[in-house]
Structure 1
Amino acid sequence: MSARTPLHLAAEIGGTPHYDAGHYLRLARLAEDGALDYVTLDDSFARPGLDALAVLARIAPATDRVGLVPTVTTTHTEPFHVSSAVATLDWVSRGRAGWRADVSTTGAEARLFGRRPAAPPAELWREAGEVADVSARLWDSWEDDAEIRDAATGRFIDRDKLHYVDFEGTAFTVRGPAIVPRPPQGRPVTVIDATTGPAREAAARHADVVHIRATTPEAAAAVREEIRDRAAAHGRAPGAPLVLIALTVDLGDAESAPESGPVRGPRLAGGGTYFRGGPVDLADLIARWHHGGAADGFHLTPITPERDLERIVNGTVALLQHRSLFRTFHPGGTLREHLGLARPASRYATAKTAAEEA
């Protein structure tokens, strides 16, 4: 990877649960000030607190540029509802939505719903991939110009530009079309954490952005290559998906002393995926790993968001910007534009056009 390849940075704004949307809004605005690509808000059925997707829908109108990516659990939920909720977030954020697909593996969480018992991770991630697939189809089920909104004739929509998806998965079927018009981005950005093996196939087939954890730049580059090879086998374009290294950070310590030897610069604590040090050390690590071609960027999870996110933005990011390694402003208005991802055309409109030409 060239050192000139754009560096992508994202951050988690969760942590100790808060029941005040203003808390998350302050953190999202701070990330926006640093020109971060997006913020994530983690969630699960076992975690107390507010619903992540609803919180980000609340703060979307109060932010302007930063992408908003809630965790959405695909197990025990209805794919049609997931698709509608994420599309709604894209509308209220004016094209800045994504979603991080996750699964629920425990019996305790299964009993909260009472629909079915817990299942093996491989089975759940296969289902998650199907949810990602049908969601994309539902977002495509309205052509971009399907809405007429002609008050004089009383016509709201062109029915010929709505399409049934007729999707049949291993655990569900969805007929469609969607009830929400096609999102501003066409398809909101799909993010999957592919650190574990069972998630990698779903990530390779369906994710726009993949998070991974790795202990060395070489290990990260190997996982990135594996995921992209799998993606290419499914007919995806070269360079897809983007791969970000997920790193937990604790910026409560002082900067480290310079090291001697062939490998200079900060290292991960205990050889793991946990960074402890200062903002300058973190900037050095990010620059070294990205320059070496380990990944397309980093997803940072602060140990203490209220303290560490400020140090990430005003310390680490500011230093990377000073070194001309990270942008100083968002390049566009949508999350896809931040990430350099094209807006996809509706597969049904494309197929119809091809049939008409034939």
Structure 2
Amino acid sequence: MHGTASHPRPVHLGVDLTDAGTHPAAWRAVGSSAQRRFDARRLVELVATAERGLLDLVTFDDAFSVRPGRGGAHGRLDAALVASRLASRSAGIGLVPTVTTTRTEPSHVSRALASLDHLSDGRAGWQVGWSTAPVEAAGSRRGGPERTADAVAEADEVVGAVTALWAGREDDASTARDVASGRSGVRETLRHVDRDGIRFVVDEPSATVRPPQGRPPVVVRVTSPGSADLAARRADVARVRAATRDEAVAVRELLRDAAADAGRHPDDVRVLVDAYVVIGQDRASAQARLDLLHDLEGVDGVGWDTGSLTHVGTARDLAATVEDWTTAGGADGFVLRPSSLSTDLDAVVQRVVPLLQRAGLFRTEYPGTTLRDTLGLAGPGRRFAAIA
């Protein structure tokens, strides 16, 4: 790495805290704390570690079905409730749960995430989820789309409805109540929201006070042409997969061009590449850890096929990759996906982040109090007519 490296904008780093790590066998590794999977104190500890590294945000996946695996089916805690639990036990870092649009009413999504934004003093984000899984449809009276394109189209409509509900009060709306006169400042600033989607109707005012951020950042995972279009039109953060730097450059430029075509400024979308990481003192020890995880999963002689950047090596090598990809225009940052949270998250915070800081690529303190501040996005006073 070059100690005098310059960068037009700080690198953004998030970390996925789903399960025990992204490798299927992470929960079986020594020290994985698998027995604490549903222990709130473990989650508090993980977020505190990420916060010590001044990371932008943490994400939590969610779904309405259990996940099959070699060790049996695995459940998860509700991501939005987990984030709410962590709100008062963290400071600075963004909390970004996945909330599905396929089987959740827009008014419920709006209220849950606006509440999280209040509980966290403006650090909430929303990772948009959708599903076409038959097992999920079977457990829902509402049913759902059978094709991914239809699910993404529905997600587009839901995001529009949710952002309209968030904007359903004036920017200067007051929550004060005049006890003597019996008048409520809130009641006078409500706006009626009328949205008619394929599987829902919103015909009501917002039931929740406007979020502190105005619009908590919307995160969209780009996995198809339809989701790329959704991200370009609606997202503040696009999570993409790219296995090489050149591929990342092409994907980022495609999204920025699509955002411009949708009437947005390209800089209003942060493009973060998913990076799967196994960190060791040297490359051989990192590979040995990955081989052990493969053995635990019963996978013999095959690689870790993630479909995106996969780093198996040292902290210094990972920091160099971050510098290389971001300065080349391949990413605004990365969502790090540790193979094992118990090992790799500590390595990111203790070894990777200091290298990036010394290179002038990463912050030494949080730039403000909200997630929008951290991501360098416009504040709550801005109107989002172009993407609402």
2:369 is equivalent to residue 319 of structure 1: no
Q: Distance in 1 between matches of 2:323 and 2:284?
A: 16
SS at match of 2:103: coil
Match of 2:51 among 32, 39, 47: 32
Superposition CA RMSD, Å: 2.2
SS at match of 2:77: coil
Q: Distance in 1 between matches of 2:18 and 2:342?
A: 10
Task: Give, as a single letter, the amino acid of the residue that structure 1 aligns with 2:234.
Answer: H
Q: Distance in 1 between matches of 2:224 and 2:117?
A: 28
Equivalences, count: 338
Q: Which residue number in structure 1 is paired with residue 325 of structure 2? A: 289
Task: Verify the 8 A CA contact 1:209 1:243 in the aligned structure 2.
Answer: yes
Question: Share of identical aligned residues, percent?
Answer: 43
Residue 196 of structure 1, CA deviation? 2.3
Q: Distance in 2 between matches of 1:22 and 1:98?
A: 22
Match of 2:17 among 13, 19, 23: 13
Residue 93 of structure 1, CA deviation? 0.3
Task: Give, as a single letter, the amino acid of the residue that structure 2 aligns with 1:11.
Answer: V
Moved more, 327-336 or 247-256: 247-256
Distance 1:217 1:256, change over 3 A: farther
Deviation per residue, 1:114-136 (Å, 9 max, x gap): 32254211110111111111111
Q: Which residue number in structure 1 is paired with residue 345 of structure 2? A: 309
Q: Which residue number in structure 2 is paired with residue 216 of structure 1? A: 244
Match of 1:93 among 101, 120, 124: 120
Q: Which residue number in structure 1 is paired with residue 108 of structure 2? A: 81
Residue 101 of structure 1, CA deviation? 0.2
Task: Give, as a single letter, the amino acid of the residue that structure 2 aligns with 1:45.
Answer: F
Q: Distance in 2 between matches of 1:56 and 1:255?
A: 35
Moved more, 129-138 or 10-19: 10-19
Aligned counterparts, 1:1-358, within 5 A? 3-16=7-20, 18-47=37-66, 48-143=75-170, 144-252=172-280, 254-255=282-283, 272-345=308-381
Q: Distance in 2 between matches of 1:253 and 1:172?
A: 52
Task: Give, as a single letter, the amino acid of the residue that structure 2 aligns with 1:130.
Answer: E
Deviation per residue, 1:216-273 (Å, 9 max, x gap): 111111111111211111211231211011111122462479xxxxxxxxxx978953
Task: Verify the 8 A CA contact 1:139 1:187 in the aligned structure 2.
Answer: yes
Task: Give, as a single letter, the amino acid of the residue that structure 2 aligns with 1:46.
Answer: S
Residue 66 of structure 1, CA deviation? 0.4
Task: Give, as a single letter, the amino acid of the residue that structure 2 aligns with 1:13.
Answer: L
Q: Which residue number in structure 1 is paired with residue 23 of structure 2? A: none
Residue 4 of structure 1, CA deviation? 2.8
Q: Distance in 1 between matches of 2:143 and 2:363?
A: 47
Q: Distance in 1 between matches of 2:15 and 2:186?
A: 41
Task: Verify the 8 A CA contact 2:220 2:227 in the aligned structure 1.
Answer: yes
Task: Verify the 8 A CA contact 1:163 1:348 in the aligned structure 2.
Answer: no
* TM-score computed with the length of structure 1 as normaliser: 0.89
Q: Distance in 2 between matches of 1:252 and 1:42?
A: 26
Q: Distance in 1 between matches of 2:284 and 2:8?
A: 27
Deviation per residue, 1:169-223 (Å, 9 max, x gap): 2221101211110000011110001132221111111100001000111111111
Task: Verify the 8 A CA contact 2:47 2:58 in the aligned structure 1.
Answer: yes
Task: Verify the 8 A CA contact 2:276 2:308 in the aligned structure 1.
Answer: no
Q: Distance in 2 between matches of 1:27 and 1:136?
A: 30
SS at match of 2:238: strand
SS at match of 1:166: strand
